[in-house]
Amino acid sequence: MTTLADYRNERLRKLEEIKKLGIEPYPAKTNRDTKIAKILSNFNELEEKTVTIVGRLIAIRSFGKLAFLKLRDESGEVQVFMTQQDLTDDRLFNTKRLKLLDTGDFIEATGKVGKSSTGEISVFCNEVRLLGKALRPLPGRDGFTNKEERYRRRYVDMNVNPEVRERLIRRSKFWQATRKFMLDHGFVEINIPVLEHTTGGADATPFTTHMDCLDEDFYLRISHELPLKRLLGGGFEKVFDIGPRFRNEGIDDEHLPEHIAFESYSAYDDYEDGMNLYEEMIKYVAQETWGTLEFHVGGFDIDLGNGGKPWPRIKYADLLKQEYGVDVFNPDRDQLVKILKDEFVKGEDKNDSVARKSLEHTCETATTAHLIDHVWKLIRKRSAGPFWLIEEPLELSPLAKKNPENPKVTERFHPIIAGTEMGNGFSELNDPLDQLERFKEQQAARDAGDTEAQMLDMDFVEMLEYGMPPACGWGNSERNFWLLEGVSGREAVPFPIIRKNS
């Protein structure tokens, strides 16, 4: 049985033979003047013209004096048709030297554009140039399906499964569209620090690191929120940032400890303005990325266009009362625990001992407010949307402004689509005394063992005391992309987190 080591040794032998011929197997310069896609889409214009193309060699068929090569660059694939001819340059490869090339090698081909006898668009040439010798063969598509191996060798996965690379191109379009929408609406992009002395803006456990030159520990940011709001205090009116954030939590279809997120803040706007703006943004980004507003994901049929009507706006308290009879303003902890346990028994994880233990821990240690949030998530998972969930209770929104008509709730809003929250926004709290009291409550919960509770950030409170205008804030992560793409987080990022190979 031929092993990977055997293939590699044979390629190493070829590499040595190539070097003995005086050929540089890894030259620095290429002479490409045409991408493959241009040949395929502009054949009539390029027919009989000489072009130089480059790419990875993905197939070799040799028939004595004839050879057919398949070459792939980022833009597409094309056939290279070769006939036997003496070399005009000893540094090149003709049909006689093709035995020294392998699939996976990178080559350069110069020749005339035409069609083969079967009508296939081709580049006709007699010599090709080696740009990079591959020492390991690419696996076949059918032999490279194990998820862990695909994630571990993503660079191979992108070659074997082209849809992975195409997905990453759409991911890029997703963020390009987000950025363009914000810039077109008068926002300024400001990159903010990743390292923070005090981290906040979300309920999450942070990662910690140490800076040697200051001999101090820092947190990796869990949110963009507080630095961006400091910019509002500094005189900016519309700001946003797109970049990584880090949350020391589990890995599942909807969560990755490191992921790209977007947050924006608009002075003198409230949550009603925000819902209008970000509903438009979500639709714009979807149309630019996928070319449609209609999706089938997670068993839901979703129309982001909502038949041309604005998305419904549903109050948090009304939804929990309607679905489970929960009074979020006068909660019964025993009732909440019973709901969670009853629903667990009905769920797919009912026989999972780890999940059961996690549930028991949550029921024993979580605050009543967080138990309410767990019950809400049961409703969310079966909600198709799109709709806006509004007016979340004060206890769950330590950075949001109270609703003047009902101070027990906040001017907070979430878009609910296909069983998930596709963002988070609110009228920002700019009362420094109110903010300080809420921070103290969060810090007390943190001191009592809630590692996801927010920290007391006195520098932020001080900024508020200098004055920050009323504003609407919004944030969403690349989970939106994963959702509408219909894949897990690890399938949708270029190099997913995976346990170190032992």
Domain ranges of the chain: 4-137, 160-311+385-492
Give the confidence band of 502 by pLDDT, cuts at 50, 70, 90: low
Residue 63 has pLDDT above 70, yes or no: yes
Give residue for tokens 């979430």: 414
For residue 241, give the amino acid letter: D
The more confident residue out of 293 and 144 is: 293
Distance between CA atoms of 420 and 299, rounded to whole angstroms? 13
Give the confidence band of 255 by pLDDT, cuts at 50, 70, 90: confident
Residue 398 has pLDDT above 80, yes or no: no
Q: Give the mean model confidence (pLDDT) for residues 188-193.
A: 97
| pLDDT (0 to 100) of residue 366 | 86
Give the confidence band of 114 by pLDDT, cuts at 50, 70, 90: very high
DSSP single-letter state for residue 255: B
Each residue of 131-141: pLDDT tens digit? 999 999 999 88
Cβ atoms of residues 325 and 331 within 8 Å: no
What is the percent of the chain where pLDDT is above 90?
78
| pLDDT (0 to 100) of residue 279 | 98
Residue 43 has pLDDT above 80, yes or no: yes
Q: Which CATH architecture has domain 160-311+385-492?
A: 2-Layer Sandwich (3.30)
Q: Which CATH architecture has domain 4-137?
A: Beta Barrel (2.40)
Report which of 129, 107, 86, 97 is spatially closest to residue 17, judged by C-alpha positions.
97
| pLDDT (0 to 100) of residue 122 | 98
Q: Hey, which bits of 394-495 come out as E strands?
A: 402-403, 406-410, 412-417, 420-421, 424-427, 471-477
Q: Is there a common fold for 4-137 and 160-311+385-492?
A: no
Q: At what angle do helices 368-381 and 333-346 cross, to 10 degrees?
A: 30
Q: Residue 135: is it exposed, middle or buried by C-beta count within 10 angstroms (0-12/13-18/19+)? A: middle
Alpha-helical (H) ranges within 65-215 are 147-152, 154-160, 162-184
Residue 25 has pLDDT above 80, yes or no: yes
Q: Give the mean model confidence (pLDDT) for residues 267-279.
A: 97
Task: List, as one string, the DSSP characters of 183-202.
Answer: HHTT-EE----SEESS--SS
Q: Give the mean model confidence (pLDDT) for residues 348-374.
A: 87
| pLDDT (0 to 100) of residue 143 | 79
The pLDDT mean for the chain works out to 94
Give the confidence band of 42 by pLDDT, cuts at 50, 70, 90: very high
Each residue of 286-310: pLDDT tens digit? 999 999 999 999 899 999 999 999 9
What is the percent of the chain where pLDDT is above 70?
100
Residue 2 has pLDDT above 90, yes or no: no
| pLDDT (0 to 100) of residue 346 | 86
pTM: 0.91
Please report, for residues 40, 187, 254, the alpha-carbon distance to residue 232 in angstroms, rounded to integers and kept in the order given: 51, 12, 31
| pLDDT (0 to 100) of residue 352 | 84
The more confident residue out of 450 and 77 is: 77
Least confident of 6-15, 354-363, 371-380, 407-416: 354-363
| pLDDT (0 to 100) of residue 450 | 79
Residue 501 has pLDDT above 80, yes or no: no
DSSP single-letter state for residue 434: H
Residues in contact with 433: Cβ distance below 8 Å, sequence separation at least 6, in sequence order: none
